[in-house]
Amino acid sequence: MNKSDTAYGGREAGYYEVRPDHTVVCRLCPHECHLSEGRQGLCRSRTNRGGKLYTLAYGKVCALHADPVEKKPLFHFLPGSRCFSMAAAGCNLSCLNCQNWEISQASPLEVGCRRIAPEELAETAACSGCRSVAYTYTEPLTYIEFTRDCAAACKARGLKNILVTAGYVNEQPLADLLPFIDAANIDLKSFSDDTYRRISRAHLAPVLRTLLQMKEAGVWMEITNLVIPSVNDGTEQIQTLCRWLADNGLADSPLHFSRFFPRYRLSHLPPTPIETLLQARQTAREEGMQFVYIGNTSLPDAEDTRCPHCGKQLVHRDIYQVSPHRFSGICPQCGQPIPGVWT
C-alpha cells in the first residue's frame, strides 16, 4: 500500500474495497460509505481519489492540550494525573448536541491544523509530564490509521493510551487498534436504536458490540451517558441500559451520567434537571451498577468513589481536584478490591 502523502495532504487509508467502477466502499465503520470519485464519507475525513480511499486527517492535529484525566472522564484510571489530549477533525456521528461541532463536523481540509508525525507527538507528550495520551474531542476512530501509529509510538515511550469515543466502528479495525489502548471512555448515548438514529445518525448495536470487544480485550473502560431532557431521560430506558451493562459483566465499569446543557442543534432544550440525574443514579444502583457518577453539576459527593461493600469514601473529587492523590485500589476499611488502574 502506498502510504505517502498526496499533494492535497491525504494518505492512503486501510479498510476499504474497490468496485469495478472505481467507487470504493469504506469498511471502517458501520456506515460503510460507498464513495464515487472525489466524494467524502459521512465523517468528512476519508475520500475517494482515483479509485483509492484516502484519510485526510493523517498527521493533521487540530487540538492539543494537557488535561486532567478526570476530564475524559476517567475516574478509576491513574487519578490525579494529566493526559496529553489530541484531536484531528472529523466524526462519523452527527450528534445534534455536539460540544465540539466546529472540529467534529468538519473536514481536516477545512480546519486549521498543525502537522505532526506520530513520533513527534509521542516525544512532545513524553516531555509534557503527562502519563498518558488521549485521542479525544472528535472521533479518533475515523482517523484510525493516525490514532494507531500515534498510540504505537506513545506506547514505545511508556505512555498509556486513552480512547474517548462513541464506539461506532467495525470489529476488525477495532481489533487492530486495541493492542495499543489501555483505557477508554465510551459514549453510550441511549439504549434506544430509534434515539440513536434521531440524535446521531447511528445505530445502537455496533456500540454494544464495541463495549463487549473492549472488555474482552482487557481495556479499562468507563461509560458516559449524557442525559438529555425529553430525548433519553426516561427511567425505563436508563433501567434497560443499566440492566444490559450489568448482565454483560460491566456492573463494575464506572458509569458517568452527565448533565446536558443546551447547545448546537439542541439549544432549545433546557439543562437536565438535577432530580432526573439523581433518579438515573438511583436506577443504575438498583440495577447493580457499582460505581455511578454524576458529572457537570456541583452536587456534593456526585463524583466521589465509595466502596460498594462498606460505603467508605475512597476518593474525593472537587471539579478536577482529587484527594487522596494515591489510592491503593483496596478499601482501607473493609479490604474490598476496587477495580481500576490506580498506580
Q: Is 125 in the site for ligand SF4 (CB under 6 A)?
A: no
Stretch that binds ligand SF4, among 39-47, 97-105, 190-198, 242-250 (CB under 6 A): 39-47
Least distance CB 93 / ligand SF4 (angstroms): 9
Sites for ligand SF4 among residues 129-148 (CB under 6 A): 142
Query: In Å, what is the CA distance from 192 to each residue of 92, 186, 211, 255, 335?
Result: 19, 16, 16, 18, 39
191 within 8 A of 248, measured Cβ to Cβ: no
Q: Give the residue with the Cβ less far from ligand SF4, 186 or 338.
A: 186
Stretch that binds ligand SF4, among 35-43, 232-240, 247-255, 259-267 (CB under 6 A): 35-43
> In this chain, which of 26, 74, 163, 289 binds ligand SF4, going by CB under 6 A?
26
Q: Give the residue with the Cβ less far from ligand SF4, 107 or 239.
A: 107
> In this chain, which of 24, 42, 130, 186 binds ligand SF4, going by CB under 6 A?
42
Least distance CB 50 / ligand SF4 (angstroms): 16
With CB under 6 A as the rule, give the number of residues binding ligand SF4: 12
C-alpha cell at 221: 473502560
Q: Give the residue with the Cβ less far from ligand SF4, 16 or 291.
A: 16
> In this chain, which of 43, 62, 164, 238 binds ligand SF4, going by CB under 6 A?
43
Residue type, 335: G
Q: Give the residue with the Cβ less far from ligand SF4, 10 or 41.
A: 41
330 within 8 A of 339, measured Cβ to Cβ: no
Edge-to-edge strands, sheet with 11-12: 11-12, 52-55, 46-49
DSSP 212: H
Q: Residue 185's CB: how many other CB atoms inside 10 A?
A: 24
- The torsion angles phi and psi of 175, rounded to 5 degrees, stand at -60, -35
197 within 8 A of 40, measured Cβ to Cβ: no
Q: Is 207 in the site for ligand SF4 (CB under 6 A)?
A: no
In 3D space, the residue among 255, 146, 128 whose CA is nearest the CA of residue 191 turns out to be 255
Q: Is 284 in the site for ligand SF4 (CB under 6 A)?
A: no
> In this chain, which of 10, 11, 12, 41 binds ligand SF4, going by CB under 6 A?
41
185 within 8 A of 223, measured Cβ to Cβ: yes
Q: Is 33 in the site for ligand SF4 (CB under 6 A)?
A: yes
Least distance CB 132 / ligand SF4 (angstroms): 25
Residue appearing with cell numbers 502506498:
2
Residue type, 298: S
Residue appearing with cell numbers 494507531:
148
Q: Is 92 in the site for ligand SF4 (CB under 6 A)?
A: yes
Give the 3-state secondary structure of residue 256.
strand
Give residues in contact with ligand SF4 (CB under 6 A): 26, 28-29, 31-33, 41-43, 46, 92, 142
